[in-house]
Structures are given as C-alpha cells and as structure tokens.
Structure 1
Amino acid sequence: MTQARQAGVLMHITSLPEGKVGPDAYRFIDTLVEMGVAIWQTLPVNMPHDDQSPYQSVSAHAGHPGMISTQQLLKEGWCLPNEVDLPLPAVIARVMPRVQSNGVSTVDNHGLSWSGFARFCQAQRYWLEDFSLFLSLREQHQHQGWHQWPETYRLHDDQVLQTYAAIHQETLTLIKFTQYLFFQQWAQLKRYANQHGVKLFGDIPIFVAYDSADVWAHPEWFKLDESLDMTVVAGVPPDYFSETGQRWGNPHYNWARMQAYGFSWWLGRVDTLSTLFDIVRIDHFRGLQAAWEIPASEPTAIHGCWQEAPGDALLQAITRTFPQVSLVAEDLGIITAEVDALRHIYGLPGMKILQFAFGGGEDNPYLPENIEENSVAYTGTHDNDTTLGWYLAAPEHIRAHVQHYLQQVSPEMPQALIQLALQSAACLAVVPMQDILGLDSRARMNTPGTTQGNWAWRMEWSQLTDEKQQVFKQMIKESGRVYV
C-alpha cells in the first residue's frame, strides 16, 4: 500500500442509493476510476442486529443479506421483473430452485451454480453450519438472544441440534444459500473493482456481539461464567467522545485459551476478510495490546481497567498464515508507547484524523506536518461529524486555529481540509463521501455512544455533480496521488 501515494473514498455499501452490492456499486466503482481514486473503503459488511450497526453483528463471518441485490439477480437472469420488489427471502426462495436445476459449473464463468453452492458450503463449513442453526433458532424464538433460549439450545447440545437440523433442513439450506448469494455478489464486485484498478478496503471490529453465532457456538473463547453470562464487557474509558466512556457491552476474549489453540478462531476470521477485501482495518487496534474491561454489572465505562492482550503473538500468527494480507491499525483514542511499538513491529499504517489536528500545540500528531508516510490520513471517519458540520460547530479557538493555520479568514469547508489530507505525506488519504459532497451534520453516519439515528445516511446520485467530481479529481492530481 505504500508503493505509491493514493487516494481513497470512505462510503459504506448501505450508503449507496440502492444500498446493495448491485448496479449502484458498479457505477460507484466507475465513478471512482473517473476521479482517479484507487481505494474504496467500507465499514464491516457482516450481518447486523436490528439496530443496523456494522459493529454489532450476529456473526463474525456471515455477510449482510440486506446488501444482496435483486437488481443484480434480475440482470443475470435469476430473478423475474415481477419478483424484484418482493421481500428478499421470497426472492431467494424462488432463485434457489432455479440455480439447483440449472447445474452450470462456476469453474468457467464465476456465476451462480448448485455445484458452486456445494463447494461454498464445504469451504465455509467451520462457521456456516453453526450460523445457519443460530439464525434459524433465533427466528424460532422471535429474535430473543441465545442466552434466553431453552437450555438444550442455549448450551449448544449437539444431539439436540442434529435432530433440529434434520427437521429444518430446508430452512437451513435457504440460510446457507443466502450467504452463498452474498459472497458471490461480493466476489463479482471485487473482481470488477480490481480489474479497474480499485482496491476494496474493509474493516474488522475487534470484538463480537454477545448475541452472536460465534459466542453461542464457542463460549470457551470468551470470558463467561458457568451460566454463560458475561462477567466483564468491553468498552473504552472516558475520552473525547464521552465523559463516562463507552460501554460497548461486547464480551472479552479468553485470550489464554485462544493462544493455546493457535488463535484458530481469529485466523478463520481473517481468512474470511482477506477474501472480501484487499486491505483490512483492525478496528480499535489498541485492544490487541490492552483493552478496557468493565464489570458487567457497571452501567457505564468509568469503573473499568486495562487488561493486556497477546497482540504480538496474534499478529505473528496472522502475518505468518496470511503473508499477503494488508492491514491498517485504527490507532485512535488512548494510545500508549506499547501500542505504538506493536504497530511499528509489523509496519502497520496508523490513522491520522485532521479534525483532531486543531486547538492544541505544534506537537499534535494529527497536524499535517507531523503525519508520517506510513499512515492513512482522513478528514474524518464514520465516527466523526462531516467536516462541514464539524467546522460549523467547532469551538471558537479551534476555528481560529484552522484559520491561522490555513492563513484564511473564511476557509472553504470541507475543501480546505480535503486538500490538507491529500497533500499530507501519508501514503493513503481517504475522504468520506459526505465531505466530497460538501454535506453538513445531517449526513453524519454515526455518533459514538448513541443508539439512535445512526447508520442511515444514503447518497443520491444527483448530489455527485460533474463539478464535484472534477474538483476532487483535480485535487487528487495536484497532490501527486497516482491512480495505479
């Protein structure tokens, strides 16, 4: 990733007008190529809970069915025009027998086939079997968390589950086929992107949800008591975003047991992500060195403590098993010398957020002149306000610092910050689509520590005018960021 200065755009799949891995996604790649953008960064693409947060998914592997494009199925002839607007499960229930009866091999054409589905099920068996059971049982129990299920299901009784699987084979096959569709559509999109010189940049949340197939199927990898209840939960201490910290509520890992088994669960997870993306950001990277552990009984994150993690051994295992994987460290928040040292050992680029650069002294690591080459520079991320919204709401001393730094009384936002990011020494500069469109706080993607009003923003093609495209293209060119 450091071979040439490149530019990227941050926009989640669900922020496309259609919000799916379909025609809009291909059009977006074409647009990136036209602007000279080489990297498309998204948020995690796993299946979320009902709150739609990409960082609280029901599986560390399963793709988000809501991203499956019926328009793409129509284009490929698997779906009829009068079926496109049906609920997705109804569409897939019609597509599956057509694929089964077609019998075309995917060896030559990368398309859907029943033999391809069989190969997918075999290759992904290590997580797909448990996931399909989990999702079916979750539906049976009206989306209750697995810890509220009857004991034989809650405790993952193999004999009981075998009986259940035999009775519900059709449902389980449909769940697996849905995942096959997601992974096939994504593989086709990635192939198209790579053929056009665009790399896909993904995200791996460091923790998983308690109510997930992963914790249900493998409670031994997590810090749970004899009743399989969480004893401690993950979060972060009080910081820039919250005076009481953030109590995420995810279970902490039983790192000693994971390490004893060669981090097999983590390696499987990275294997899945490495097939979906060319570059993977490790969310909350500092948690691989030490993570904030909060007693499960505490309502906030204030009364927690740091617990060390075997990040060096884990990263050794990952880089040894996947020597071609390209990782980025999300090293924001309370970063210690130990966290920095861990990142440097493996040469991982860190993140530099320009919205954090102003209001302090000259040693602020986010100021453009302090950004090192092995970095990814951002105007802001999905957790920040849009740059225009940030500037309009910023305290006077921060705006004054921005104006002094730029030597402009009325800097044009967000273009001024975009230009700083692109002209920085960072090997990669990534700009959220909201900033390219010049949108205010109404287009914010997420406000950390809140559960309402997040993850809903969508772009309209009419917003991305030819003028906005040309302005961004020219800024990329002037910053010496080449399209390769």
Structure 2
Amino acid sequence: MIHTRGSGILLHVTSLPSTYGIGDFGPSAYRFVEVLAKARQHYWQILPLNPTCPASGNSPYSSPSTFTVNTLLISPEMLVRDGFLGRNDLEPMPDFPEGRAAYEAVAWYRERIFSIAYERFLHTGPDRRYEGFCDRAGWWLDEHALFVALKDHFRGQEWSQWPEEVRTRQPEALDDMRKRLADGVRKEKFLQYLADRQWSALRRYCTARGIQVIGDIPIYVAYDSVDVWANPGIFQLDEDLRPTVAAGVPPDVFSRTGQLWGNPVYDWSALREQGYAWWMSRIARSGELYDLFRIDHFRAFADYYTVPATDTTAEHGTWVEGPGADFFEALARRTPCFSIVAEDLGANTPAVQGLLDRFGFPGMKVLLFAFGEGLPGSAHIPHNYVPNLICYTGTHDNNTARGWFEEEASEEDRKRFYAYIGREVAAEEVHRELVRLAMTSVARACIVPMQDVLGLGAAARMNYPSVPEGNWEWRMTPEEFERAPFEWLRGLAELSGRG
C-alpha cells in the first residue's frame, strides 16, 4: 500500500540524454534526480533494467536474464571517473544520433570500451569490492555469467540448440564449460559488477533526495533465457525441453486474433511444491534494485491464458486458474508485500480485485482510457478513484497525451474531454489538462510520462504493442531537458498536496 501522497515521472534510463548513444547511469541521470527533487516529485518510475537483445526488438520485457542489469546502461563517463578507463579510451566514438537510442552502435561501442576496462582490471590486482559483489550475488550471477559465455561460445544459438549435455545441464559438461570459458565468465561478472556499482550509487543518490525508484517485473520470461535453461522444471516444457503452451491474451476489440506473446508458461504446481522458491528469489532481487516495483500483467496470478505452442494465433487458448492468494501468503511469510504495485489494466476480474483488496496492493488507472462512451462509470475517470492506486496520464504502451488527442481520440472523445475539464483547449494544451486531472485526483500516487510533461506528440511514443521493430528508442534531447517545465510541475505538486 502507498501511504504517502506524492507524484513522479515515468522515464526509462535509456531515454535520458547522453553523449554515448543511449541513456545510462551517468551524469544526466544524476541531473534528472536533482530536478525531480527540486520539482517536489517523490517517484522515478523506470522500465525493467534487465538486459535486452536485438532478436526481441530490444524490449526490456523480453530479456535473456531476469536477475541482471543491462550492461548497455553502464556509463562510460563514470568508468573514467572511477579509474576503470582513461579519457582517451573513449575515442574513437561513433556519431550517435540524438533523440533515439542507437542499440546496435551502442552495443559495438560498449563492447570495445568494456574490453579495455576488463583487460586493465585483470592487471590491477585483487579488488575487494568486486570479490564481495561476486560472493553476495553468486546465487544469480554464476548461472547468468555462464549462460552469457555459452551464448558467445555457441555464436548466439538459442540454448535449445546447444549440445545435449549442455542443453540438459549435465554436471560434468557444465564443469568442463566453466573451465573452458572461465575468462568469458569472469568478464561478464566484471561487467555486472560495474553495472551494480553504478546503479547502487545512483539509487543512494535518489534516496538521499527523497526519490523512490519504481521498477518493473515482467510476469513472464523469454524462452531463450538463463531463467528457463537453468530452471526447466518450473515451466511447462516437454521431454525435449520445448514449451507445450505459450502465453498470450485472447481476441478482443483491439485484436481479432488475440496476442500471442510466445513466452513459456509457469508450472505453478511445481513451483508450489518448491515453496515458490524461484519467484521468492525474483522478488528479493527486485527489492535490491528498486524501492517499489510494478508486476506487469498481474492478472496472471489470478488466472492466465495459455495457447498450444504449435498455434500461430491466440484464438484457441484456455484460461487456467493461477496460484492466487497462496502465492502471496507464501511471499508475506518471507518478506513484506508493500513494495508491490499491481498492473491490473484490462479486464479487472473479481479474482484480481480480491487479491488487491486482500493484500492491499495499489492498482493502476490511466486517464487516456477514461473518455470513451462509458465515461461516468469508467474506472479510469478521476471521480471514481480510491486513494490506494497510482494514476497515470498514460504508460509506455500508450500514445502520448498529445498523440492520443491528435491521432486516436474520436470527435466524441474530445467532446467528453472538453466537458469534463470545463472548456475547449488546443492540442498543445491537452497534456497539461491531463496532468492537472491526475495530480488533483485522490490517488495517493500520480505518475506522468516524461513525454507528457514535455507535451510531445506521437513521434515520442515509447512502444507500439504487437509492432516488432522501432520500439524502445525514444530519448529526451538535451534541449528538451533544458526546456522541461519543472517549475510548473512543482507548482502542481504543491497545489495538490503532493509536494
């Protein structure tokens, strides 16, 4: 449950301005935290910090490793500051574009400078902080580092295509590969150490300025991940370790054939027998990375949709009962549940609402969903809010507020919007009205995407669901950062009791 009335901004780390092709844990992140504090904001919400890969369109919701941090977010400038690199090591540098995350060029550049930093590290003698990190994080780090080294060794092949003795994790084969790939394993551990070092320092900076970080946990994991390879028994796989069913959602007004996500589905019976150990570890790791964390597609704990793995659409799936309260009762015995935010968008069934009410999880409401035909009774319109929720103008999966008004809202939607705010406004003012509605609502927490603070149009959208390419690339330019109306945001926070 969120106890303090406050507000914040949704901006993924990759969307920060940076000289090095992608937002990172460097100076711009620290400056962003400073302006959040000056604007009397209390939350910085980000997307999952997990590694991304080109095969999944660089989506942070389809990661090869659930417990780790994306090494592309390591700041070159901080590596220089901390003595891992010299200033000259940063050259030559590609001509990175402004306004978009250049994943391919960033990966090439980071690999070059990381190799330099690693070679230097190998010749500097023992590093107590590195050794301490490896000891503390070994429970997730060892498997991850081996997986990364194996991926490189087998030239990027999906783990299901690896030699049988490695694919099926035969102990002697794994011991042999650890020895053969020892340098690659150590290098990945070093990079995770750098990522942890930089993120932990940034988190401490946030805490000192009264900023809580809201993270994100995707409900499912990618098949081609260390999570499935190292834990096949907790997923619904056949004897060849291939998924028997895949995750998705059924057909609706937005998609005639539904959405076939393709992720493997958990074997909740097996997880229950193990005391949900893997999920307990996942929650514990999230508690290390974030102050609060949103669980994406929270509904799957109540019931989840499965599609036969051989199907090419989600039309012929089945709803299956999830672990429900039993999971959260087990979690509550291990750790407090107050850090969890439930992404309960879509069909909020009685079973989902029952979990929210029983355990006090705040849900989500999105203003862009509020102005349809059913406005008076809409769960997303502010007059129907309850305090224990987070109100958003929009999310990373939505258009921007201005983009919605210009490209998606019908004439009737616009009329209802005008009637609700009491006047007609131009497209360039819509974002301010929506932010005001969110800030003055009774919702204890209010989060505004940075694009809506800036009043940007559809070109600044972060993600188009079901569109495989061109997503996750938007980045705030230095000029946009400079002109962002943080004083206006501060005034709204103070006026609405959020400051």
Give 1:263 shift. Answer: 0.7
Structure-1 separation of matches of 2:337 and 2:160: 38
Amino acid at match of 2:412: H
- In structure 1, the residue matched to 2:100 is none
In 2, are the aligned partners of 1:354 and 1:366 still within 8 Å (CA)?
yes
Identity of aligned residues (%): 40
Structure 1 residues 218 and 242: alpha-carbon distance in aligned structure 2, compared to 1, 3 A threshold: same
Structure 1 residues 414 and 249: alpha-carbon distance in aligned structure 2, compared to 1, 3 A threshold: same
Corresponding position: 1:171 with 2:193: no
- In structure 1, the residue matched to 2:393 is 379
In 1, are the aligned partners of 2:454 and 2:484 still within 8 Å (CA)?
no
Structure-2 separation of matches of 1:139 and 1:132: 11
Please give the per-residue CA displacement for 1:184-211, whole angstroms capped at 9, x wherever unaligned. Answer: 1110000010001111110000000000
Structure-2 separation of matches of 1:246 and 1:324: 30
Corresponding position: 1:397 with 2:419: no
Q: How does 1:200-219 map to 2 (within 5 A)?
A: 200-219=213-232
Corresponding position: 1:39 with 2:54: no
Runs of 4+ in 1 over 4 A off after TM superposition: 97-103
Corresponding position: 1:150 with 2:156: no
Structure-2 separation of matches of 1:443 and 1:102: 44
Structure-2 separation of matches of 1:27 and 1:464: 10
Give 1:98 shift. Answer: 4.6
- SS of residue paired to 2:395: coil
Structure-2 separation of matches of 1:170 and 1:143: 17
2:52 to 48, 54, 70: 48
In 2, are the aligned partners of 1:241 and 1:449 still within 8 Å (CA)?
no
- In structure 1, the residue matched to 2:80 is 74
Give 1:142 shift. Answer: 2.2
- In structure 2, the residue matched to 1:192 is 205
In 2, are the aligned partners of 1:241 and 1:448 still within 8 Å (CA)?
no
Corresponding position: 1:368 with 2:371: no
Amino acid at match of 1:426: A
In 2, are the aligned partners of 1:274 and 1:325 still within 8 Å (CA)?
no
- In structure 2, the residue matched to 1:285 is 298
Q: How does 1:462-477 map to 2 (within 5 A)?
A: 462-466=479-483, 468-477=485-494
Structure-2 separation of matches of 1:141 and 1:102: 30
Corresponding position: 1:27 with 2:31: yes
Structure number with greater CO (CA < 8 Å, separation at least 6) is 2
Structure-1 separation of matches of 2:211 and 2:400: 24
- In structure 2, the residue matched to 1:456 is 473
1:88 to 81, 92, 110: 110
Give 1:325 shift. Answer: 4.8
Structure-2 separation of matches of 1:467 and 1:451: 30
Please give the per-residue CA displacement for 1:206-240, whole angstroms capped at 9, x wherever unaligned. Answer: 00000000101111010000011111000112235
1:308 to 321, 324, 336: 321
Point out the more displaced range, 467-476 or 14-23. Answer: 467-476
In 1, are the aligned partners of 2:394 and 2:449 still within 8 Å (CA)?
yes
Structure 1 residues 58 and 336: alpha-carbon distance in aligned structure 2, compared to 1, 3 A threshold: same
Structure-2 separation of matches of 1:446 and 1:239: 20
Corresponding position: 1:2 with 2:6: no
Structure 1 residues 448 and 466: alpha-carbon distance in aligned structure 2, compared to 1, 3 A threshold: closer
- In structure 1, the residue matched to 2:422 is 407
- SS of residue paired to 2:485: helix
Structure-1 separation of matches of 2:271 and 2:489: 45
Q: How many residues align?
A: 473
TM-score normalised by length of structure 1: 0.94
- In structure 2, the residue matched to 1:271 is 284
Please give the per-residue CA displacement for 1:327-355, whole angstroms capped at 9, x wherever unaligned. Answer: 10000112210110011111000000000
In 2, are the aligned partners of 1:242 and 1:449 still within 8 Å (CA)?
no
Corresponding position: 1:425 with 2:438: no
In 1, are the aligned partners of 2:331 and 2:337 still within 8 Å (CA)?
no
TM-score normalised by length of structure 2: 0.92
- In structure 1, the residue matched to 2:95 is none
Q: CA RMSD in A?
A: 1.6
Structure 1 residues 96 and 464: alpha-carbon distance in aligned structure 2, compared to 1, 3 A threshold: closer
Give 1:102 shift. Answer: 5.3
- SS of residue paired to 1:293: strand
Structure 1 residues 200 and 338: alpha-carbon distance in aligned structure 2, compared to 1, 3 A threshold: same
In 1, are the aligned partners of 2:338 and 2:361 still within 8 Å (CA)?
no
Give 1:471 shift. Answer: 1.7
Give 1:464 shift. Answer: 3.0
In 2, are the aligned partners of 1:35 and 1:469 still within 8 Å (CA)?
yes
Amino acid at match of 2:303: A
Amino acid at match of 1:307: V
Amino acid at match of 1:13: V
- In structure 2, the residue matched to 1:109 is none
Give 1:127 shift. Answer: 2.1
Please give the per-residue CA displacement for 1:449-483, whole angstroms capped at 9, x wherever unaligned. Answer: 1111100000012113456122222222221112x
- In structure 2, the residue matched to 1:106 is none
The answer for unaligned runs of 5 or more in structure 2 is: 93-108
In 2, are the aligned partners of 1:8 and 1:430 still within 8 Å (CA)?
yes
The answer for unaligned runs of 5 or more in structure 1 is: 104-112
Please give the per-residue CA displacement for 1:73-111, whole angstroms capped at 9, x wherever unaligned. Answer: 1122221011125732343333345556656xxxxxxxx
